[in-house]
Amino acid sequence: AQKITQTQPGMFVQEKEAVTLDCTYDTSDPSYGLFWYKQPSSGEMIFLIYQGSYDQQNATEGRYSLNFQKARKSANLVISASQLGDSAMYFCAMREGTKYGNKLVFGAGTILRVKS
């Protein structure tokens, strides 16, 4: 079974508008962490935001926020005021406890294109 599911292969958004990238996850471990990464065409993975399974509030980092709905096992990324430089591939990833070390399991990714 897929651990991380990103159902949107590609998304378009108008510059300055907000966009939501979907992510659902599957785990039976009560302790887990959820990450979002951005990968521009250069290939480097850039960390955006983290949400822990025990965190009571949704994580926010500048223009990025994570809409964490634990009961629905979803961790959607919201990018506000989109910029042309936000065009990239976005990956949702999960770390299940620490028994697997720092291993991250990634979703298939969503390509985001920001239109001017």
> By the criterion CB under 8 A, which residues form the site for another protein?
31-33, 35, 37, 42-47, 50, 52, 91, 93, 95, 97-98, 100-109
Of the pair 86, 96, the CB lying nearest another protein is at: 96
Least Å from the CB of residue 95 to another protein: 6
Of the pair 64, 106, the CB lying nearest another protein is at: 106
* Cβ atoms of 74 and 22 closer than 8 Å: yes
Least Å from the CB of residue 78 to another protein: 20
CA distances from residue 66 to 53, 55, 60 in whole angstroms, order as listed:
12, 12, 6
Of the pair 4, 13, the CB lying nearest another protein is at: 4
* Cβ atoms of 17 and 79 closer than 8 Å: no
Q: How far apart are CA 16 and CA 97, in angstroms?
A: 37
Least Å from the CB of residue 116 to another protein: 27
**Segment holding 113, helix H or strand E:** strand 110-115
